[in-house]
Amino acid sequence: MPVDAGPSATDEVRRRNTAVVMRLLRDSGALSRSDLARRSGLAKATVGTIIGQLQQVGAVSERASESTGRGRPSTPVVLAGESLVALGLEVNVDYVATTTVDLAGRELSFEERPVGGDGPQLADVLRLVRDEVARLEAGGTTLLGLTVAVPGLIDRTRGRVVEAPNLGWVDLDLAGALSAELGDRVPVAVDNDANCAARAESLHGVAAGVNDFVYLTGTVGLGAGIVSGGQIVRGSRGLAGEVGHQRVGDERHACACGRTGCWEAKVGLRALVRATGIPLEPGEDPVSYAERVVKAPDTLPAIAEIGASLARGVAQLAATLDPAMIVLGGSFVPLGEVLVPAVEEALARGFTGPGCTVALSTLGLHAASVGAAVDALDDVYAGRRTLI
């Protein structure tokens, strides 16, 4: 039976073509209309129409013309989009962080707020998001999407936190609560914090250009963002990367998940507090705490103990996944002088031998929220959402 696919088919084609043009601009920086037509395979007239419409909504702008030496000068087009932003939010045990990025994924703003004694509550998160969205909209900015990074098991398809033991969150419809708060105008997603951080590292951090690497979060919990062939490895249910709960720790140490012997309980922030005897100060984030520990007297043996346990677990990950790089994030970064050589030595002694670089994150506590904000742009670049 014939199907009248007229207008919807046209919309679909336009959305797809727009996404092709936008991806080319994102990945190449500045391109003339002719370059865009050549690289996309679209007709010049089609490219011209798309660019014109993107200009009208403030998504692209023209740079001063460059002479090509022959014929008419070409006018490069670049992504503009400082008025079109995405918001990334990281919820963690002792802090929440927000990052806004522009249409090209460049960081525009970052804010970190300490969280009080009982850890972050849903009401706090909703209030923070409401304030942030109001601030952006008051400045005339259009929010394209929001992704929240959470340390725990995430059902990304349904936007639910399955379990985040360190937050005390179980089976929470986080995307639903945020959508109820913001209405339909802002698409909302939820993802694991390590996956988001790995995404940021591969775009803006030490793992830029590295196709196979593992990012290890260094917060109260310990999670891995596993990147293989340039893609985040999510597993059959989206739960891959929960390395902190591998039983490679010490059976005497209880984990927040209710089990004993988890790696996280041996190398996470609580293990560092236990090993050094230096209490966390109210409102202190994991990086600031680790910086204080490094400067404190006689903490080297405690850090070395963490390093030995970290190295054992990383060697197992390397033997399983064969990454080109291990990126240590968060509180591991200030401890790097001790941790990196320990991990390097364990890798070199391992069955798969040396050849895997050990690097410290350069994004600090920004990593997860930056990655979350970039994630919130995906619908636009995949053509699932159009700006025109």
**Residue ranges that bind Zn ion, judged by CB under 5 A:** 245, 255, 257, 259, 262
* Minimum CB distance to Zn ion smaller for 257 or for 358: 257
Query: If we measure between CA atoms, which residue out of 153, 322, 164 comes closest to residue 236?
Result: 153
Strands 357-360 and 325-328: parallel
* Minimum CB distance to Zn ion smaller for 248 or for 324: 248
Strands 107-114 and 142-150: unpaired
Alpha helices for the chain (secondary structure H) = 6-28, 33-40, 44-56, 122-138, 174-182, 193-204, 264-267, 269-276, 286-295, 300-321, 336-349, 367-375, 378-381
* Minimum CB distance to Zn ion smaller for 243 or for 257: 257
CA–CA distances in Å: residue 232 to residues 121, 212, 278, 371: 28, 9, 36, 12
CA–CA distances in Å: residue 37 to residues 50, 61, 133, 168, 256: 11, 17, 36, 52, 55
* Minimum CB distance to Zn ion smaller for 259 or for 385: 259
* Minimum CB distance to Zn ion smaller for 167 or for 255: 255
Q: Report the SS3 class of residue 248.
A: coil
CA–CA distances in Å: residue 41 to residues 48, 86, 154: 13, 29, 39
For the bound state, the minimum distance from the C-beta of residue 262 to Zn ion, rounded and expressed in Å, comes to 3
For the bound state, the minimum distance from the C-beta of residue 154 to Zn ion, rounded and expressed in Å, comes to 16
Structure tokens at 71: 């014929």
* Minimum CB distance to Zn ion smaller for 262 or for 326: 262
Query: If we measure between CA atoms, which residue out of 313, 214, 213, 329 comes closest to residue 267?
Result: 313
For the bound state, the minimum distance from the C-beta of residue 226 to Zn ion, rounded and expressed in Å, comes to 18
* Minimum CB distance to Zn ion smaller for 190 or for 262: 262
For the bound state, the minimum distance from the C-beta of residue 152 to Zn ion, rounded and expressed in Å, comes to 11
For the bound state, the minimum distance from the C-beta of residue 220 to Zn ion, rounded and expressed in Å, comes to 12
For the bound state, the minimum distance from the C-beta of residue 348 to Zn ion, rounded and expressed in Å, comes to 29
- The answer to whether 97 touches 365, Cβ cutoff 8 Å, is yes
For the bound state, the minimum distance from the C-beta of residue 346 to Zn ion, rounded and expressed in Å, comes to 22
